[in-house]
Amino acid sequence: MTVDAVSLELETGRLLLHTLAPGDEARLQRVFEACADHFAILMGQRVAPDAAAQELASCAATPGRAVAILTLAATGEDVGAIGWWRGNPEPDRALLGMLMIHPAHRLQGLAREALSAVEVWLRGQGIVALRTAFQRRRLAVHPIVKAFGFQELSIREHALLGLGGVGVSLWERPVGG
């Protein structure tokens, strides 16, 4: 782990959020495989057999980056994951990299509950806005991020990304928004 590694445990009404680290690959991989449609819709690909290992290695090597497992408090069942990168792209922003809920537990408000808990913590860290980005052609994602209160950023913001921003859909919302 880096010196800036995020070790966090949050509790909501129904969820326990616990940041993961190298050594937790199997647990995260099980969530990734249960939420395989997330990878298909968002990235157009299958879950790689080492997706969790890659994710946790990136978090350990990147200051401010973290992924937390979402566990039902009542049963201890892992039902999702949320990942963020604090201070990216600017010191007062965080990038929401993933938010996934097991299909059997969707439409119950768990994603909102997890996002809200992370946002309260981020606000305490000086973060004022949350961004997310995905391939522009992933049209199925647009209504989902809109439902979470994100608004697509202007062409000017996309242009600041250079050529890397050409196919990117970039969204932002105030923390707690």
Whichever domain contains 152, its CATH number is: 3.40.630.30
pLDDT tens digits, residue range 70-92? 999 999 999 999 999 999 888 99
Quick one: which H or E segment has residue 72?
Answer: strand 65-72
Q: CB within 8 A of 148, min separation 6: which ones?
A: 111, 112, 115, 173
* Lowest model confidence (mean pLDDT) among 49-58, 124-133, 142-151: 142-151
Q: Which residues of 147-177 are buried (b: 16+ CB within 10 A; e: fewer)?
A: ebebeebeeebbeeeeeebeeebbbbbebee
Domain containing residue 78 = 9-174
**Residue 4 domain-assigned?**
no
Count structural domains, the chain.
1
Q: Say if residues 34 and 49 touch (Cβ distance below 8 Å).
A: no
- What is the model's pLDDT at position 2? 35
**Residue 162 domain-assigned?**
yes
**Residue 2 domain-assigned?**
no
Mean pLDDT computed over every residue of the chain = 84
**Residue 92 domain-assigned?**
yes
- What is the model's pLDDT at position 3? 34
Q: Average pLDDT for residues 132-137, to the nearest whole number?
A: 70
- What is the model's pLDDT at position 36? 84
**Residue 47 domain-assigned?**
yes
Share of the chain above pLDDT 90, in %: 55
**Residue 75 domain-assigned?**
yes
pLDDT tens digits, residue range 87-133? 988 899 999 988 999 999 988 999 999 999 999 999 999 999 998 87
* Stated pTM of the model: 0.85
**Residue 17 domain-assigned?**
yes
- What is the model's pLDDT at position 1? 31
**Residue 1 domain-assigned?**
no
